[in-house]
Structure 1
């Protein structure tokens, strides 16, 4: 017995057409008309779009931060994700000083197993580089299904690695069929600027963006692109925020360097004026890289339109305002960096991208699902609507209007950076591998049924010329 979705308009990164979709078991088995079989359940989705389930390749659930962890663990974070139309997340399994990569991966498997409402995979975040770690990379790619690794150029003395480690990691990853993801900010410069500001008594949240200027991101982006070129390895830039970094990526792509980049809704829709709010409220917007002046936004939208930016992710790294962000009330450098966003990503990009004409509906699907599936070893199982693909489907009703408020969301966080934003459309029904988990905008599957996704190795797109 199967399920047939009748009357919807299917939208993929390439096509849009009206047809019925038949699901059997976990997969899509047919697309067309009059495909209902005896015993099938028919669901009317007339007037709605059918999108492939969203893929958010940048979340931080249950991430330890000193004496506490992020407000959302895999249970609450994934619940919020699926209610917003995201059916797959890629979280960062973080290796801390002295750990092997395998041990760190085991820690994250324990955090997620049996607790995730969406399918999930892991990037491996490397913070401690040595020869043993280098040897582990191939095993993670080939045995564990983890073909992507993250390194930080920021957070000196905590997460930051030096250029030598970056170059070696790029080389090893490139040879092993992996893609290296990099947080691009000049950590040494930021470290000095922050300490200088605090020493001068400049301790309020408004100094956060002033001590992490766009130039620090632009420089780091250009530098890691040069290292990737030397290593002859592909590169993925996470959460790109500013004109200069975008120009560095544009220049690299025009030269044929294999570099990919993501941005996030917060950088498309919020600006640095949020650091001038009354009292300590600006702490809610202390993220890294920080929000930029508003003139950077149009450049980022243009980057999405031209394909320079490949993905819109969230960097969902949620800390409560009360009790967590407040730890930095007397020193902005002690405010935990991060904000929630996994539940609002699809709605915001549809409302402020598609509905304003900044993005086509095909670009919306590519940016929220298809491109991530292709870059991170999940396509065509995920990221499209086609026979044989997983039946991860979002029934999106464009006739519904709402206003985003913290009380309307399901994340385990006491604020949303998008409070008061209007939204057009809603994920009224969501299917995960053929099982309906959201109905009429409500979660109907009490037990988390998300599976771990071992992913395929990364395939280089560029063919090196023989010299």
Structure 2
């Protein structure tokens, strides 16, 4: 006889959403949150009950910027969806958004996405996808229509990396127009290519092109000029625009000013830009920190952290790229030839939490602020239905943790399929103790419980349709009303 009991109850925890907190029992049935019951009421019977007394219960993380099994030139990241999704769950992230970036001129944007969608069948957590356009041709509008039909509502373009992933200004402008037509969101990697190319060549001419000089080859000005130019194109086309991995307060301030003028613009940063400064390139292992943009000065890091605390940054994403040290060291003598990108999907939660909460920050954030950039904001901005909020009808993606617990990062003990972490040896708070994904307990005190390849491919909603449904809401009601794919 089938049981009528809920599958799971998380009892007595402090439930923290981006809009507030309450002590409650969270009742889970069939992969969804059935209801929240005030913690003063008796705990309802269930197949499994987890006592979260004295701990926080937050929505499972949504990492809007991951690169899984990514091919860039002759380098390929060492992970696959099984590895990266497992690491994500270990780190409290229950939904990742990957990119279908054409490997070369022979792979179309649509083919790149469909390839990633097929690979994602091995995922242990839910997966959504971004598209990417490198060059414009007459087939691109049709391809973008097909991507929208696949639930891919965002397209990334690079303003640098000429000869590989860079899109020229004409392409960016035309794609922006198409994304407006298709109710989508334009993602931008913003670094001004002529400045980057010239600065890098000058350093190469002087023999200062090894990894220890990376931060000098890609100046802050290059990022900020590119953001300014892109915002002008977004203003011209009326396109919503999202800037990935912003590393300077100046870049964030440009987005803030655009928003003040009524533009739909968003700033994302990454944990490494909030915690690491350019002194890392003078250490014994500078290759641990090869990423673009590079780490900035300690003063810039402090100001960026202030922008996060003020709410000017809308999402913190990992920009996860899983190379190992042998790949990093193969061409560490020349930053133009080595692979850039850091493993980080597993450490996003504790690094971000620590950066926001640590004493000494100009204005430390709240738990609600953390939930906003870790889960709620990424879900809302990327129009991911039923994610980022603990409320009836939402997916049962949940994390239990004790904010006071500290652990030290051991790069070799992580689960990302590589042999290092840029945060190795750092003492961090905010590690997940229990992780629930689609109603399944996948991490607890007994370790990881592999659910198998059960991760769902998530069809995202139209950007403006989703934002309009959420507009003015300080509760879960509007977001939960957005039509979701079956």
Q: Does TM, normalized by the shorter one, top 0.5?
A: yes
CA contact (8 A) 2:305 2:355 kept: no
Alignment deviations for residues 225-261 of structure 1 (CA, whole Å, 9 cap, x no partner): 0000001111000000013212211221221211111
Structure 1 stretches lacking a partner, 5+ long = 463-467
| Partner of residue 99, structure 1 | 107
Cα deviation, residue 441, structure 1: 6.6
Query: Structure 1 residue aligned with 2:309, among 305, 319, 324?
Result: 305
Q: How does 1:79-90 map to 2 (within 5 A)?
A: 79-90=86-97
| Partner of residue 352, structure 1 | 355
Q: How does 1:284-299 map to 2 (within 5 A)?
A: 284-299=288-303
**Matched positions, count:** 456
Alignment deviations for residues 289-337 of structure 1 (CA, whole Å, 9 cap, x no partner): 1111111122212222332210011101121112x01121332221101
- Are 2:422 and 1:417 equivalent residues in the alignment? yes
| Partner of residue 234, structure 1 | 240
User: 2: CA distance between counterparts of 1:385 and 1:446?
Assistant: 22
User: 2: CA distance between counterparts of 1:329 and 1:242?
Assistant: 25
| Partner of residue 465, structure 1 | none
User: 1: CA distance between counterparts of 2:67 and 2:207?
Assistant: 32
Alignment deviations for residues 66-118 of structure 1 (CA, whole Å, 9 cap, x no partner): 334112221111111111100000001112423333211111112211x2121
Cα deviation, residue 354, structure 1: 2.4
Question: RMSD across aligned C-alpha pairs, in angstroms?
Answer: 1.7
| Partner of residue 190, structure 2 | 184
| Partner of residue 210, structure 2 | 204
| Partner of residue 254, structure 2 | 248
User: 2: CA distance between counterparts of 1:158 and 1:348?
Assistant: 31
Q: How does 1:142-161 map to 2 (within 5 A)?
A: 143-161=149-167
User: 1: CA distance between counterparts of 2:405 and 2:222?
Assistant: 41
Cα separation, partners in 2 of 1:168 and 1:407, compared to 1, 3 Å: same
Cα deviation, residue 37, structure 1: 4.9
Query: Structure 1 residue aligned with 2:340, among 337, 340, 345?
Result: 337
| Partner of residue 221, structure 1 | 227
User: 2: CA distance between counterparts of 1:286 and 1:313?
Assistant: 17
- Are 2:97 and 1:112 equivalent residues in the alignment? no
| Partner of residue 138, structure 2 | 131
- Are 2:151 and 1:140 equivalent residues in the alignment? no
- Are 2:269 and 1:263 equivalent residues in the alignment? yes
| Partner of residue 473, structure 2 | none
Alignment deviations for residues 394-413 of structure 1 (CA, whole Å, 9 cap, x no partner): 01123432101112311111
Q: Any idea what SS the aligned residue of 1:331 has?
A: coil
- Are 2:58 and 1:54 equivalent residues in the alignment? no
Runs of 4+ in 1 over 4 A off after TM superposition: 33-39
Q: Any idea what SS the aligned residue of 1:206 has?
A: helix
| Partner of residue 16, structure 2 | 11
Q: Which moved more, 1:399-408 or 1:225-234?
A: 399-408
Q: Any idea what SS the aligned residue of 2:128 has?
A: strand
- Are 2:384 and 1:378 equivalent residues in the alignment? yes
CA contact (8 A) 1:283 1:335 kept: no
User: 1: CA distance between counterparts of 2:78 and 2:376?
Assistant: 29
Q: Any idea what SS the aligned residue of 1:94 has?
A: coil
Structure 2 stretches lacking a partner, 5+ long = 469-486
User: 2: CA distance between counterparts of 1:105 and 1:407?
Assistant: 31
Q: Any idea what SS the aligned residue of 1:452 has?
A: coil
Alignment deviations for residues 350-388 of structure 1 (CA, whole Å, 9 cap, x no partner): 223124362111000000000111111124x01000011
Cα deviation, residue 445, structure 1: 2.1
